[in-house]
Each structure stands twice: as C-alpha cells, then as structure tokens.
C-alpha cells in the first residue's frame, strides 16, 4: 500500500453540499462524503461496503458533535447508526479503492483519528472511549501514518475541519426550488409556525413563504447567529408575530431547519411530515430498502 506524494484532488458526483467522492492522484484512499438525506444513494455504492473507517458529523442540544467508527462493511454500520444515533447530518466513509484494508488497519486508523480529534478539541465526540491501537508491524504502521497524512489534506477539502487548527465558516446559501422534489410540512399550533420544505440534491430546503416563530419566546442559544444573519440579508422578514421566508433557504438537515422554524432545539426527523402524515425518518427508512449496488 505504498502512497504517492502527488496531491491532485478531484471530485465526482456532487456539489459542495451534496454527495461527493474525493480522490487524490496516486493515493490508494477513497472518501465518500454525503448528507444523511442522501443515505440511500450513498450506501448503494459498492465501495460503501468496503472495510474502512467513518466519521459521523452533526449536532445535538449541546452543539456540534461527531462520532468515529470502523467496520468491515461500513454500509452495515451506517445503517445501524441511522436507527441508533439521531444527531448526525453528514458522514464520511474512508476506504481504499481496492478494498485492501483489513481489520487491524482500520482499528489503527480509528484509534488515531479519535486521538487527534480529542487532542485538537474542535469537535466533541460521541465516542465513549479512545480505543487502544492494535499491534501492527513497523511497516504497516508507517503505511497507516502516511495514509493519515494524506487523509488530513483531503478532509478539509470536504469541509471536515475537526482535524485541523482553524475551521472555515459555512456561507449562507439561498437556492432555487425543484417542484418535483419530495415535500414535507411542519406546523405548530402553539407558535403559529407553518413551513414547507423539499429535499433537493441532499439539501433540506425550507420554501419561500414559510412562516417561522417570531423573535418573542425564541431560544437563541442554538441558532441565534444564523437567525440574525438571515434577518440581516433579508431571507427572513418580520411579519406580525412571525418571521417569513422571502426566498427558499437550504439547511444541511431536517433538524437544522426545524430548529430555525420553531426557535428551539428539535428533532426534525420526527417533526417534518409528508402530506400523508409520514414522518421524515419513516420516509427515509422506506428509501433504504431494498438497496441496489451501484458501480
């Protein structure tokens, strides 16, 4: 598994917020990065079933959070986390193109990634412990360290900044709507919020004209900065006791959208519903079976 030194990075399948495959010329590694909203498409790829490590990224009521794991069939691990872990909104699957990592390799990579994430301290981890490094030969350890050296260049290019000293600010994104995309609704009799959203290319987009909770009674701890930015640029305007979306706006997850609409931390996967009343998480689960291999 000798690693080349050329760093000609290129991407396949995606835009900055959609599913992306990152590769580096002459590097044996492969990174598939995708939003949870595209989990079915991502896990249908044959490479998703390789042996490797993965990083789940998202937030809970305390703020940003990540989880690092490993598996001999990453797709199976991610499917289990779709049920057991609610916080994550994006995932990065780290494998090799030839599927030539074995169990000790990925346990070593998992341990090193957790060590570095905790040392840097940018992103709190959902992992309970830091696993011990497995016994590898000196040559194998050198290969894994070289693999990590290149990986730490690839991940920031995908806006995964938890392994570097400085993070990039995420820009505000306004978008055009696709009327054919799946649509979801969120209504609150208590606050008067009444929002519609569509899932377009992996982004959860609250539609123009949607009403969010007004500033009164709103918790600003979680989304105060975003709220002020959207008010400043005119994406949101005050309308009576509510805030109205003057244009469609893209969020990275259903929960990010529901937090802003309702004004407090929420589980958007349970709150957003289809016109027939099906919860987003139920709708998403229905898209995962059956999954077909994609080259």
Average pLDDT value over all residues in the chain: 83
Give the per-residue pLDDT at 26. Answer: 60
Radius of gyration of the chain (CA): 20
Give the per-residue pLDDT at 176. Answer: 58
Is the model's pLDDT at 65 over the cut of 60? yes
Bridge partner list, 117 = none
DSSP states of 150-193: HHHHHHHHTT--TTSSSPPPPPP-B----TTS-EEEEE-TTT--
pLDDT tens-digit readout, 24-47: 556 788 999 999 999 999 999 888
Is the model's pLDDT at 169 over the cut of 60? no
First to last CA, the chain: 23
Give the per-residue pLDDT at 171. Answer: 41
Give the helix ranges, DSSP H, for the chain: 39-43, 74-84, 103-120, 138-157, 224-233, 254-262, 268-271, 280-287
CA neighbor of 198 nearest in space, from 131, 251, 143, 124: 251
């Amino acid at each position: 598994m000798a690693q080349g030194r050329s760093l000609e990075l290129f991407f396949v399948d995606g835009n900055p917020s959609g599913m992306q495959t990152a590769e580096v010329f002459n590097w044996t590694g492969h990174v598939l990065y995708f939003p949870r909203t595209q989990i079915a498409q991502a896990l249908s790829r044959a490479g998703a079933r390789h042996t490797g490590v993965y990083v789940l990224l998202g937030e809970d009521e305390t703020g940003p959070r990540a989880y690092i794991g490993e598996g001999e069939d990453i797709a199976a691990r991610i499917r289990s986390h779709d049920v057991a872990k609610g916080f994550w909104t994006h995932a990065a699957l780290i494998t090799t193109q030839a599927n030539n990592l074995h169990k000790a390799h990925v346990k070593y990579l998992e341990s090193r990634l957790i060590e570095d994430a905790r040392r840097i301290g940018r992103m709190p981890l959902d992992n309970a412990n830091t696993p011990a490094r497995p016994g590898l030969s000196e040559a194998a350890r050198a290969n894994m360290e070289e693999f990590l050296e290149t990986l730490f260049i690839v991940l920031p290019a995908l806006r995964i900044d938890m392994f570097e000293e400085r993070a990039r600010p995420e820009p505000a994104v306004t978008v055009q709507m696709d009327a054919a995309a799946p649509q979801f609704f969120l209504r609150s009799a208590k606050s008067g919020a009444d929002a519609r959203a569509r899932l377009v290319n992996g982004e959860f987009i609250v539609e123009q004209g949607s009403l969010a909770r007004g500033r009164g009674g709103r918790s600003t701890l979680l989304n105060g900065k975003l709220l002020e930015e959207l008010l400043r640029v005119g994406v949101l305007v005050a309308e009576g006791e509510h805030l109205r979306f003057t244009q469609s706006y893209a969020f990275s997850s259903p929960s990010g959208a529901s937090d802003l609409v309702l004004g407090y931390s929420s589980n958007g996967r349970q709150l957003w519903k289809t016109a027939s009343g099906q919860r987003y998480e139920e709708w998403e689960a229905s898209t995962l079976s059956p999954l077909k291999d994609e080259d």
